Amino acid sequence: MDKTLEQAKRHQKIRSLNEALDSGSLDQVARILNRGLSPSDIAHLLESTPPKERSILWRLVDKDLEGEILQYLSDEVRTDFLSKLNPQELVSITEDFETDDLADVLQQLPEKVIQEVLDSMDSQDRHRIEAVLSYAEDTAGGLMNTDTITIRPDISIDVVLRYLRRHRSLPDMTDKLIVVNRKDEFIGTLPITTMLVASPSSTVREVMNTDAVTISVNTPDTEVANLFERRDLVSAPVLSSEGRLLGRVTIDDVVDVIRDDADHSLMSMAGLDEDDDTFTPIIKTAKRRAVWLGINLITAFIASAVIGLFEATIEKVVALAVLMPIVASMGGIAGSQALTLVIRSMAVGQISRNNLGWLLNREFIVGIINGTLWALVVAGAAIVWFNDLMIGVIIALALMINLIVAAVAGTMLPVILRARDIDPALAGGVILTTITDVVGFLSFLGLATIVYA
């Protein structure tokens, strides 16, 4: 792949930084860190560094960069750094945070610390933060900033331009001004690109967009992300149920939701958390992984118990023990294809009662087609291998049964789990494996018992 100049430069800096770290010349490390890299690059570097070196690097970072770096860190790493600060340090480091970022940070700290931080803020800032904190983290309310620029509908564009010039700077991602009435009720938006081409003498009301996308404060964050994706938004106003303007959501925060959402399915299917730090220390990692292994061990023991039912048959025909993993594993693969597809489609909101029937029907028929195809292949191989016609018939039937069950189970499981508020990405794989293992061993060894007993 082609490396860009910017990337090459950054890699060069990180390499020299690592050399400096290895040689123990911390002065040099500090120099490269604070002068050569942007805060977001430093955050990325910290996340890519094992715990011990990470805390050395963090101590070498310039005090006035710390706040900005924190905003770019993932939850787990950030919480780790923040938990070592006292409330005074916390307040000074988070001084320049946007309200949504500060609320994010606070939500991860103990109740007592939150209160201390709030107490040490001035009352205006405290009210803003308390407003954001009162909404769940995974809603539009938890995602929003309160730094909106609002205007009234009856002034002219010329006045708006002069009003804007009175600001020292405008908030990042300001692509539209929000038009409100005296009671702060939302009326429309004035996209900046519209304002710039409008005649200075026209009024806001004449050129504003009254059809703009707005978001109600309790909208789940994944729904907000889908809306931004579908409508190509940069920012959107957040309204209370009475239509009052509360703040705005911006694309930079939505991108994080999209990334987390998409990662969530991938990581959950392996029993991992998308917020996990890649470089979590040994003991913490071992504990988290142990839980997942324990859950999967139950599945494995259930499968063993099923096999145990047929000890006598296996003793008579050992070839069964040789072939049985094929039936179980092919079922697992077929099932996980349907499962992954449905989990993915549900995440982007494509599955509903209207099309689930079609999907189930297709997966069922695909299960029959591929079940038949691979049953013939495996049966042929088994007959040649063990020189036994019946074993071929048995494994063919068992494979067909398991692939069809796998297709149906893989399609329905996410829907059933979701309806019960269980995360399909986390629980779906384990349950599916249990089903395909049990059905696979039961059908194969059961049929064999009928034939060979």
CA distance 450 to 225: 55
CB 118 within 8 A of CB 105: no
Burial string for 410-420 (b: 16+ CB within 10 Å, else e) reads bbbbbbebbee
Q: Is 374 in the site for a second copy (CB under 8 A)?
A: yes
Q: Is 134 in the site for a second copy (CB under 8 A)?
A: no
Q: Is 102 in the site for a second copy (CB under 8 A)?
A: no
Q: Is 416 in the site for a second copy (CB under 8 A)?
A: no
Q: Is 232 in the site for a second copy (CB under 8 A)?
A: yes
The structure tokens 């079609």 sit at 358
| CB nearer to a second copy: pick between 89 and 349 | 349
- Other C-beta atoms lying within 10 Å of the C-beta of residue 178: 25
| CB nearer to a second copy: pick between 290 and 389 | 290
Nearest of 438, 409, 403 to residue 304 by alpha carbon: 438
Least CB distance to a second copy at residue 116 (A): 30
Stretch that binds a second copy, among 62-70, 99-107, 117-125, 227-235 (CB under 8 A): 227-235
Q: Is 208 in the site for a second copy (CB under 8 A)?
A: no
| CB nearer to a second copy: pick between 197 and 450 | 197
Return the residue of 131, 360, 376, 381 that touches a second copy, per CB under 8 A: 381
Stretch that binds a second copy, among 84-92, 104-112, 122-130, 296-304 (CB under 8 A): 296-304
| CB nearer to a second copy: pick between 88 and 293 | 293
| CB nearer to a second copy: pick between 33 and 251 | 251
Stretch that binds a second copy, among 62-70, 83-91, 101-109, 335-343 (CB under 8 A): 335-343
Q: DSSP string covering 90-157, please?
A: HHHHTTT--HHHHHHHHHTS-HHHHHHHHHTS-HHHHHHHHHHHTS-TTBHHHH-BS---EE-TTSBH
CB 399 within 8 A of CB 371: yes
Return the residue of 314, 404, 405, 432 that touches a second copy, per CB under 8 A: 314
Identify residues 21-40 at the interface with a second copy (CB under 8 A). 38, 40
**Residues near 41 by beta carbon (within 8 Å), at least 6 away in sequence:** 10
Contact characters 240-259, a second copy, x per CB under 8 A: -----------xx--xx-xx
Return the residue of 113, 234, 390, 408 that touches a second copy, per CB under 8 A: 234
DSSP three-state, residue 250:
strand
Residues in the chain: 453
CA distance 35 to 17: 12
CB 215 within 8 A of CB 239: yes
Stretch that binds a second copy, among 84-92, 114-122, 201-209, 378-386 (CB under 8 A): 378-386
Contact characters 38-77, a second copy, x per CB under 8 A: x-xx-xx--xxxx---------------------x-----
Amino acid letter, 50: P
Bridging pattern class, strands 186-191 and 176-180: antiparallel
| CB nearer to a second copy: pick between 91 and 378 | 378
| CB nearer to a second copy: pick between 319 and 412 | 319
Q: Is 271 in the site for a second copy (CB under 8 A)?
A: yes
